Amino acid sequence: MPELPEVETTRRGIAPHVEGREITEVIVRQSRLRVPVPEDLIDRLVGARIGSLGRRAKYLLIPVEGGGTLLWHLGMSGSLRIARVGELPKKHDHVDLVLDDGAVLRYHDPRRFGFVDWLAGDAEHDARLAKLGPEPLSEAFDGERLYELSRRRRMAVKPFLMDNAVVVGVGNIYAAEALFLAGIDPRRAAGRISRERYDRLAAAVSEVLAAAITQGGTTLRDFVSGTGEPGYFAQRLNVYGRDGEPCRRCGAELRLVTLGQRASVFCGECQT
């Protein structure tokens, strides 16, 4: 699933091609996505000019001048690419925004778990965004927040860190990597971790996400950036997907457990 760095990579990749451009045509080949494509989307968008792209958690925000915002979610396997007019669509290319310079913002989603929706009002008041926690690279996210929210919580720290009400966008890959960097066993009860260790964890979350964004996200089977290039952060993964392999730090065999119905790989020597 595209996580926060992949969505941010997409935003940065497509922004120079779409910001300030007028939408001249909207082509919907498949409207039955996780949220059905709004029936009036074409009427709302044709003739509108795109503003500055934003992102909230894993949602891509595409505002149009005059009011209203496209809320785009890539789901499990979705991607947004820049194509050109005349470039034939591939299978699973479901939605095109044709722009006034001949560029096409094209949405591809084999599993159709993503969606594009229209927000007429302030995006911050949408129910899907209103209750989200802070962005992990913002000043609102720190060890103190993790420590205070974790008190009396018996759940394991890894699913606690992946709770979008605690902090947004820390999915399975990056939670596993951050916990490794901070030296914290993902099975440890969230309420049994000290403030000092949460300070290290918050710093590790910021470090691993910033590095992933810089390198274009993680190479997963279905993910490519907005310009069609794969990510490269997978080359630096310490634990995710490496169960049974030696720890890069101490050489011990990495272990696999299931937490919150998600596979979790960790080092029993380096993470306590």
> Which of the residues 11, 21, 55, 58 is marked catalytic?
58
- Is the CB of residue 55 less than 8 Å from the CB of residue 209? no
Extract the residue ranges of the chain whose pLDDT is less than 50. 219-225, 232
Cα separation, 48 vs 127, in Å, equals: 25
Is 200 within 8 Å of 29 (Cβ atoms)? no
Active site residue 3: yes
Catalytic residue (one of 3, 6, 8, 177): 3
pLDDT tens, residue by residue, 241-256: 999 999 999 999 999 9
Angle between helices 143-150 and 195-214 (to 10 degrees): 130
At residue 219, the pLDDT reads: 41
Domains in the chain: ranges and CATH: 4-130 (3.20.190.10), 143-266 (1.10.8.50)
Task: Report residue 189 as tokens.
Answer: 């009860």
Phi-psi category of residue 48: left, alpha or beta, with phi > 0 → left and psi -120 to 50 → alpha: beta
- Give tens-digit pLDDT for 184-237: 999 999 999 999 999 999 999 999 999 988 887 554 334 444 555 555 455 579
Identified catalytic residue from 111, 188, 249, 262: 262
Q: Which candidate, 75, 1, 4, 11, places its Cα nearest to that of 225?
A: 11
Report pTM.
0.86
Instruction: Please report the pLDDT score of residue 3 as a whole number.
Output: 85
Residues in contact with 125: Cβ distance below 8 Å, sequence separation at least 6, in sequence order:
none
Dump the DSSP string for 236-258.
G-SSTT-TTSBPTTT-PBPEEEE
User: To the nearest whole number, what is the mean pLDDT of the chain?
Assistant: 92
- pLDDT on residue 220: 39
